[in-house]
């Protein structure tokens, strides 16, 4: 029975073919990402955090209306769910409920280089918080670029404004698509985090 001969030349050809396939896949991903981003437009903005002394203008991320996190377009797993809750302003609304091990992934959201930060209202079990990862699909071959991962959580079971979340959109011209992944950072049980009014800052002013 004959065997397929091995040579560095055949290995190089195989590697080159794999590289071309990967490059083609990356180009296809980039093209589809750019095509999707072509539908982006400047969103409506408001000043939702004036009560905290933050005078910046923000755009509400998809899947929400003020005081209501409806989760449209988001992917929830690990027990994450939409839950009714009393909001900071006393009205009844809905929030993103993240138990230990819960995860919520946003739909693609339009940003550009003038969208540096995001903030949200959040409440967590003491010592707990929310881990946030931002990824920009299509900017690296096959794999998304992980731009930021960290905690924006509070340290008490009361509503607080998160610290600014750095989005790192870079200096590329035009719109980009970003996804956010929220996870509860708890290690133990009987811990949870609540999030609503997740806004992105388009760095606008009066």
Report whether 111 contacts 169 (CB < 8 A): yes
What is the DSSP pairing of strand 192-201 with strand 130-136? unpaired
Average pLDDT over residues 179-192: 75
Average pLDDT over residues 151-172: 73
**Could you tell me the maximum CA-CA distance found in the chain, to the nearest angstrom?**
80
Average pLDDT over residues 35-41: 71
Residue corresponding to tokens 């933050």: 54
- 58-106 pLDDT, tens digit per residue, is 999 999 999 999 999 999 999 999 999 988 888 899 999 998 888 999 9
Which carries the bigger pLDDT value, residue 191 or residue 99? 99
pLDDT of residue 206: 39
pLDDT of residue 49: 94
Does residue 14 carry a pLDDT above 90?
no
Distances (CA, A) of 109 to 19, 30, 53, 91: 30, 16, 26, 27
Average pLDDT over residues 105-124: 88
* Phi–psi pair at 183, nearest 5 degrees: -135, 145
Indicate the domain borders of the chain.
Answer: 50-201
Report whether 148 contacts 165 (CB < 8 A): yes
Report whether 135 contacts 144 (CB < 8 A): yes
Confirm or reject CATH 2.60.40.10 for domain 50-201, answering yes or no.
no
Bridge partners (DSSP) of residue 182 are 104, 132
Secondary structure (H, E, C), 161-187: ECCCEECCCCCCCCCEEEEEEEEECCC
Tokens of 75: 């992917």
Report whether 115 contacts 167 (CB < 8 A): yes
- 74-87 pLDDT, tens digit per residue, is 999 999 999 999 88
pLDDT of residue 21: 36
Report whether 106 contacts 180 (CB < 8 A): yes
Q: What is the mean pLDDT of the chain?
A: 74
């Amino acid at each position: 029975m004959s065997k397929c001969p091995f040579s560095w030349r055949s290995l190089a050809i195989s590697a080159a073919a794999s590289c071309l396939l990967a490059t083609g896949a990356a180009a296809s991903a980039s093209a589809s990402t750019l095509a999707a981003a072509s539908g982006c437009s400047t969103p409506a903005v408001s000043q939702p955090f004036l009560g905290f002394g933050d005078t910046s203008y923000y755009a509400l991320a998809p899947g929400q209306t003020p005081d209501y996190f409806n989760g449209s377009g988001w992917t929830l797993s690990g027990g994450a769910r939409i839950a009714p809750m009393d909001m900071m302003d006393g009205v009844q609304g809905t929030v993103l409920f993240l138990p230990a091990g819960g995860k919520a992934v946003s739909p693609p959201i339009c940003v550009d280089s003038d969208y540096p930060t995001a903030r949200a209202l959040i409440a967590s079990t003491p010592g707990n918080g929310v881990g946030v990862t931002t990824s920009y699909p299509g900017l690296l071959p096959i794999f998304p670029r992980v731009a930021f991962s960290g905690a924006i959580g509070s340290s008490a079971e009361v509503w607080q404004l998160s610290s600014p979340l750095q989005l790192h959109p870079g200096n590329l011209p035009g719109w980009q698509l970003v996804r956010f992944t929220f996870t509860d950072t708890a290690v133990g049980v009987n811990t949870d985090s609540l999030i609503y009014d997740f806004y992105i800052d388009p760095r606008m002013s009066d």
